[in-house]
Amino acid sequence: EFYKDAARFPNVSVHAGGILDVHHAITKRTMQPGTLALRDYFPIWKAEGMGADPGRPNYGKLMTIDTDNDAHSIFFDDNISYTNARIVDVRDIRFPQQVLGIFWLLECHLVPAEAFAAVTEKMYFFDHVKRLSAAYDRRHRVLAHFRASVMNVMQRLESNKDISRNWPVLVHPASINEEEDDHDPWLNIRAIASCHSSALPFEESSQVSSHLSLE
């Protein structure tokens, strides 16, 4: 209602609706060169726990992604951790109510920004964008291959062939050795997470300040 006052805000348009409506309104502006300033709504983020629970939406700074689109969304924020998006509320427009896994997001979309490195390293942003872009391209290739494989299976099913006789058995369940099955799809992300800054947010550092002393 505040921004609907045309006398005070003659050039402001209000976009109301769900995640998909907001996504279209934002991408309409971001799919061309330019600068866009967005203001998050702090009261709702605070009321919802300030991102303390990574298993539920944090209602912080909204970023929408469309994995079927070639556009690549990247968010740098110093309040992102390697275990929790905290202040960035990432929504996939296909599943807008689903909370996305932090490792899945860190691989292609989120960067826990380090202020000192961002200031002192000239290639800081470039290197991160390059790294995330390569991972995003790889994810798209894998997804395309997976979809092609599924379509191949569906076509063979629809052709009324004897799948049990003609379809090759790739891996028999009994042949899997659980002790040797130690593949970690997030190994690279875990390696990055293990060397991140240990600096604490102000509210956390104040809780442990009583345990610190100057020599």
Vertex 48 angle, CA 43 and 54, to 5°: 130
Are 36 and 29 in contact by the 8 Å Cβ rule? The answer is yes
For the question of whether the overall pTM of this predicted structure is more than 0.95, the answer is no
Specify the pLDDT at position 125: 96
Are 135 and 104 in contact by the 8 Å Cβ rule? The answer is no
Are 72 and 132 in contact by the 8 Å Cβ rule? The answer is yes
Specify the pLDDT at position 63: 95
Specify the pLDDT at position 190: 67
List residues bridging with 64 in a β-sheet.
91
Are 47 and 78 in contact by the 8 Å Cβ rule? The answer is no
Instruction: Tell me how far apart the alpha carbons of residues 83 and 104 are, in angstroms, rounded to a whole number.
Output: 11
Instruction: Tell me how far apart the alpha carbons of residues 67 and 92 are, in angstroms, rounded to a whole number.
Output: 7
Specify the pLDDT at position 210: 39
Instruction: Tell me how far apart the alpha carbons of residues 205 and 199 are, in angstroms, rounded to a whole number.
Output: 8
Specify the pLDDT at position 180: 55
Instruction: Say what the alpha-carbon torsion angle 149, 72, 63, 83 is, to the nearest 10 degrees.
Output: 70
Specify the pLDDT at position 186: 67
Instruction: Tell me how far apart the alpha carbons of residues 124 and 11 are, in angstroms, rounded to a whole number.
Output: 36
Write out the chain's pLDDT in tens, 215 residues: 777 788 888 888 788 788 999 999 999 888 888 898 888 889 999 999 999 999 999 999 999 999 888 889 999 999 999 999 999 999 999 999 999 999 999 999 999 999 999 999 999 999 999 999 999 999 999 989 999 999 988 888 887 655 555 555 555 555 555 555 566 766 776 666 655 554 444 444 444 333 333 33
